[in-house]
Amino acid sequence: MKESTFQGIRSLVYERSGISLGANKQALVRARIAKRMRMLNLDTYEAYLDYVSNDVDGAEVEYMLDVISTNTTNFYREAAHFDMLRNIVRNWVSQKVRKLRVWSAASSSGEEPYTLAIELAESIGSARVDVKILATDLAPSVLKAAILGEYSEDKLEPVPHNLLSKYFIKVKEKKGSVYRVKQELKDMILFRQFNLSVVPYPMKNPLDIIFCRNVMIYFDREVRKRLVNEFRRLLKPGGYLFVGHAESITGLSDGFKCLKPSVYLKE
C-alpha cells in the first residue's frame, strides 16, 4: 500500500468516525480491507480508496469502518466498575429514585449493556423503577450480534453461575450449545447505531450514568473534547461517567469530580 493511499484512508476514517489511526496501523488496515477488495474484484488499495471515496449511499464507508474498528469486549470487563455501579444504584433506590437512564456508548457485541442490565436488575430488586439502557455502537455487525444476544459458554465465564442460570437460556444448536439472553434483559435495552464523533448528540432526556469505556483511546484530543462536552451536557447533576481504566479526561474534566481513576461525578 502506498503511503499516500494509507493517508487517504486515514483521513476518510477520521472524517467519518473520529477514529485516529496511528502511523503504525498500516499493516492492520491492509489486512482488514484485503478480503473486501477480493469480494469487489479490486486489485489495488488505490482502487479501493477510489471506490470507497466515491461511495454515494455510505454503505461501503460503513463497511470499512466496521472492519477497521476494534471490538474487544467481555462480560464484567473492568469488574470494579460494576461493583461501584451496584452501590450507586442501591443507594439511589433507597432514596426512592424511580427512574434510571443509562447509556452504554460503545456497546460492541452486547456484553457491556447486558452486564449493566443484570447488575441494574439485581440492584433494584423488587423496587418499582423505570430502567432503560441505550446501547450504541458505530459498527452494524456487532450491533446485530448484540441484538441477537447469543453467546458461547466461554464468553460467559465471567458471569456468576447463579446469574447465568437466572438471565440466560441454554439453547442447543447444530454447532453446539449457546446461551441466549432472556427477554426481560432485552426489554431493558435499546440498541442503536451511533457515531460518537458527530455532535450535538440527539438525546433529549438527561442521563444518570454513562459508560464510555475503551473507545476514547482511538480518538485525538479534539474529538475527546467533543465527547466529554456532550457527556457533561447530557448527564444529570450527580450523574456518573465511567471511562476505561487506560483512559482519562484530565484537562477536559471541568464540571466533573474524579472519584477514582476512570470514574467521574458530574457536579
Q: Could you confirm whether 32 is annotated as catalytic?
A: yes
Q: Which residues pair with 180 in a beta bridge?
A: 150, 169
CA–CA separation, 220 vs 81, rounded Å?
24
CA distance 185 to 114: 7
Q: Given 32, 86, 90, 233, which residue is catalytic?
A: 32
Short-list 207, 215, 178, 168, CA closest to 190? 207
Q: How many CA atoms lie within 13 A of 51 on its CB side?
A: 18
CA-closest candidate to residue 9, choices 27, 24, 29: 29
Q: Is 249 exposed, middle or buried (0-12, 13-18, 19+ CB in 10 A)?
A: buried
Q: Which of 66, 77, 137, 224 is catalytic?
A: 137
Per the DSSP assignment, residues forming a β-bridge with 134 are: 103, 190
SS3 sequence of 33-78 = HHHHHHHHCCCCHHHHHHHHHCCCCCHHHHHHHHHHCCCCCCCCCC
Q: Would you name the residues annotated as active-site residues?
A: 32, 137
